[in-house]
Amino acid sequence: MISYLLATLLYINNIDNSQEILRQDFTVQDRISTALISSPYKSVYKISHPLPPLKKSDLVFPAQQVTARSAIAIDNMSGLTLWENNTDEVLPIASLTKLMTALVFIDHKVEFAQEITIEEADNSNVQGSRLYVQIGEKMTVGDLFHASLVGSANNATKALARSTGLSEEEFISEMNKKAEIFGLVSTVFYDVTGLDPKNQSTAKEYSLIARHAFGNTLIREALGRGEYSFATLEKEIHHTIQNTNMLLTDPELNLIGAKTGYLNEAGFTYVCQSEKNGNGVIIVLLNSATSENRFTEAKEIIKWSHNNYIWI
């Protein structure tokens, strides 16, 4: 039993040494009982179950029921793969990109109360979801952050990246550097919004990005909102942003957060984290056939994962 626990600890400790998922000064007993993750703001995020879950039976979720070209379910605390299908294929990720954008933004510790003026570059050539705000309008960084993650507003995302003081090219470079730090070899970013189909990853690699994103309190809170309301600062024009995630209010799943995405080249993409009795399951779906498919498939994989694993 002790050897199993030590092996498990080595597994957890090696997930991402660069991020210090386990404190190195812990005794073995401390490591068995508690694991700590440091957030980008150096606060401590406590994990209640450092050991990976155990499978109850040999039942396998039928992959033929999933239209997503690539899909994975992982335990959010240990990173253990609970179920997977074609998880190493490199595919466009669409607006799932915004999780990495948020992580890089968090690194720069920009105050949410800071004011940002919408510029022409934020609104130009922006397709898909967007905030209907005029050039010259002023917003807080906090409102841009929520508009990006709750409503997937692409112009808000560009302004959010600009709030760090970096050029868009510099910001994208930091996104790619963070992917390298995470040990990701198939993940690459060409823009901050996900509108560029060359933004690509695998379901397996993106599940690690999701672990970091859901592990951050600010990102997790935004991804868990069904809607967000705010007013611009000078003209005081009120906006209410709706989340397109149909599963957020499903009582069976208890989602703490989710992000959708779509491009013609990417199909329908989805990432979410469900919690049951304190046990978290992260789902990543890439290239689902329809918007409805990604939700129904994610729900079934979540239910199967919670029913077929036991957390100790």
57 pLDDT tier (thresholds 50, 70, 90): confident
DSSP H helices in the chain: 2-13, 28-33, 97-107, 120-123, 141-150, 154-162, 168-181, 203-214, 217-223, 291-308
Whether pLDDT at 178 is above 90:
yes
pLDDT value of residue 283: 98
| Identity of the residue numbered 53 | P
pLDDT value of residue 51: 85
Tens of pLDDT, residues 125-156: 788 888 989 899 999 999 999 999 999 999 99
Tens of pLDDT, residues 230-279: 999 988 889 999 998 989 999 989 999 999 999 999 999 999 999 998 89
Average per-residue pLDDT for the chain: 85
60 pLDDT tier (thresholds 50, 70, 90): confident
Residue 190 neighbours by CB under 8 Å, 6+ apart:
172, 196, 198, 199
Average pLDDT, stretch 106-132? 92
- CA dist., res. 272 & res. 259, Å (int): 6
pLDDT value of residue 125: 77
Q: Which residues are 231's β-sheet partners? A: 238
What pTM was computed for the model? 0.82
What SS3 class is residue 57?
coil
pLDDT value of residue 50: 61
Evaluated on CA atoms 175, 150, 255, 45, the torsion sign reads positive
Domain boundaries of the chain, sorted by first residue: 2-50, 63-310
**Torsion, CA 251, CA 254, CA 258, CA 264, rounded to 10:** -40
Whether pLDDT at 108 is above 50:
yes
- For the 63-310 domain, the top CATH level (class) is alpha beta
Judged by average pLDDT, the poorest of 129-133, 211-215, 302-306 is: 129-133
Highest average pLDDT, of 20-29, 57-66, 288-297, comes from: 288-297
pLDDT value of residue 146: 98
